[in-house]
């Protein structure tokens, strides 16, 4: 979420009005222009006063708003400018057009909260990383209105298929990366396809995660949770800085555990949690794997052929109601919903 900026400009000078119109078009902030003194918008955050406005009754009205007051003028400051700044107890005096950049920075919304970002990754292919990521996002969306699922798997992109949403209209990675426009978070999210009510960003063509950093960061600004499905793709350094939780999906086989040991060294130094996918015929308990890897156990996901059958039927993970699988995903969602550390435990 972002702080809401409500700037008010008091001016009759068309040059100043044009400057502020340009600035607010860049920052995507709605500007209120008053050419004569009147009621100011409630909760206005910034008031910009042109000294030539010269309304003696405005000082008390404007200072009473509690907004940040700035004096704006064209060219070099004059005595009238400084007198006006003193009268209004102004925080800033801006000379246009030279102060355009400073005003733009002042009117750029600042993020007050960023999404909890969860990366799902695995040392071996076929671990069910995409199914786990999709099911986790679907589960989180039950209690949060703003969850986005993002495909970051360069090698085996299959999010559309897992969600049963191949025919859903909306922008994929190739559309967004090919666009010349600068996407803001809300623009991206509104353009995405939906699996039910869950927005997702998938790919139908090869891409590089190093190109996705700005888009993912924009999505984070507008969301409560972002789930990133990396598969076996290495997490790009710039993306790793955004990650709050790294969920490592490891099948309960000796080979997978051995590969996970070296794989862990490549992962971001954020909170890590282990998701063990139980493979029939193996005897490695989930808790033992967690202790060997020295990673907290978040949950133990069963292998069930009915999950594959339901996905092949186009149902998507949200429709899977198998008891053991649903409970495992609920455990995982409970953990990543909080930023507290967890300890190794049996799920």
With a cut of 90, say whether residue 96 has pLDDT above it.
Answer: yes
pLDDT value, residue 163: 87
- Residue 307: the pLDDT is 74
Q: What is the mean pLDDT of residues 122-140?
A: 91
Q: Which pLDDT score, from 0 to 100, does residue 56 have?
A: 62
318 pLDDT tier (thresholds 50, 70, 90): low
pLDDT of residue 134: 92
Q: Which sign, positive or negative, has the C-alpha torsion 330, 336, 338, 344?
A: positive
Confidence of residue 241 (pLDDT cuts 50, 70, 90): confident
The domains of the chain are located at: 7-106, 116-336
Domain over 116-336 is classified CATH 3.40.50.300: yes
Q: Tokens at residue 174, please?
A: 């190739």
Whether residue 202 has pLDDT greater than 70: yes
pTM: 0.65
Confidence of residue 110 (pLDDT cuts 50, 70, 90): low
Q: What CATH number does the domain located at 7-106 have?
A: 3.40.50.2300
What pLDDT is attached to residue 183?
Answer: 55
Q: Sort residue 316 into left (φ over 0), alpha (ψ -120 to 50) or beta.
A: left
Alpha carbons 209 and 212: distance in angstroms, whole number: 5
Q: What is the pLDDT of residue 118?
A: 94
| Helix spans in the chain (H) | 14-27, 58-63, 79-87, 100-106, 129-140, 159-163, 173-178, 185-191, 213-221, 237-240, 254-263, 286-293, 305-312, 323-336
pLDDT: is 343 or 85 the higher one? 85
d(CA 113, CA 223) in angstroms, rounded, equals: 9
Q: Which helix (H) or strand (E) holds 147?
A: strand 147-151
Highest mean pLDDT among 120-124, 216-220, 266-270, 328-332: 120-124
**For range 144-157, the mean pLDDT:** 86
Rounded to whole angstroms, how far apart are CA atoms 336 and 270?
12
> Cα 218 to the chain's mean position, in Å?
6
Q: Mean pLDDT throughout 237-243?
A: 82
**In the predicted model, what is the mean pLDDT of residues 122-131?**
90
CB neighbours of 173 closer than 8 A, spacing ≥ 6?
151, 201, 202, 203, 205, 207, 212
Asked whether the domain spanning 116-336 has the same topology as the one spanning 7-106, the reply is yes
Residue 2 binned pLDDT confidence (cut-offs 50, 70, 90): very low
Average pLDDT in the chain: 83
- Under the banding of pLDDT at 50, 70 and 90, the label for residue 327 is confident
């Amino acid at each position: 979420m972002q702080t809401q900026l409500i700037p008010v400009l008091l001016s009759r000078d068309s040059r100043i009005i044009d400057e502020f119109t340009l600035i607010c078009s860049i920052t995507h902030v709605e500007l209120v222009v008053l050419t004569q003194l009147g009621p100011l918008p409630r909760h206005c955050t910034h008031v910009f006063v042109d000294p030539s406005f010269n309304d003696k009754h405005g000082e008390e009205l404007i200072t009473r708003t509690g907004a940040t007051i700035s004096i704006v003028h064209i060219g070099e400051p004059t005595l009238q400018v400084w007198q006006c700044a003193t009268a209004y107890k102004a925080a800033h005096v801006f000379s246009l057009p030279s102060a355009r950049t400073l005003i733009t920075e002042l009117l750029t919304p600042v993020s007050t909260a960023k999404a909890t970002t969860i990366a799902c990754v695995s040392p071996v292919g076929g671990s069910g990383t995409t199914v786990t990521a999709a099911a986790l996002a679907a589960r989180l969306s039950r209690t949060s209105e703003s969850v986005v699922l993002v495909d970051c798997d360069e090698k085996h992109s299959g999010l559309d298929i897992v969600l049963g949403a191949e025919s859903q209209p909306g922008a994929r990675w190739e559309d967004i990366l090919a666009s010349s426009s600068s996407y803001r978070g809300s623009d991206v999210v509104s353009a995405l396809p939906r699996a039910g009510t869950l927005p997702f960003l998938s790919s139908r063509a090869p891409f590089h995660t190093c190109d996705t950093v700005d888009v993912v960061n924009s999505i984070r600004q507008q969301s409560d949770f972002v789930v990133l499905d990396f598969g076996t793709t290495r997490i790009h350094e710039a993306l790793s800085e955004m990650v709050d939780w790294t969920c490592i999906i490891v099948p309960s086989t000796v080979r997978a555990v051995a590969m996970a040991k070296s794989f862990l060294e490549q992962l971001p130094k954020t909170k890590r949690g282990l998701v063990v996918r139980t493979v029939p015929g193996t005897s490695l308990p989930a808790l033992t794997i967690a202790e060997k890897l020295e990673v907290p156990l978040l949950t133990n996901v069963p292998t069930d052929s009915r999950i594959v059958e339901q996905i092949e039927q186009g149902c998507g993970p949200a429709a899977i109601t198998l008891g053991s699988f649903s409970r495992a995903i609920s455990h995982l969602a409970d953990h990543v919903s909080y930023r507290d550390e967890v300890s190794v435990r049996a799920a």
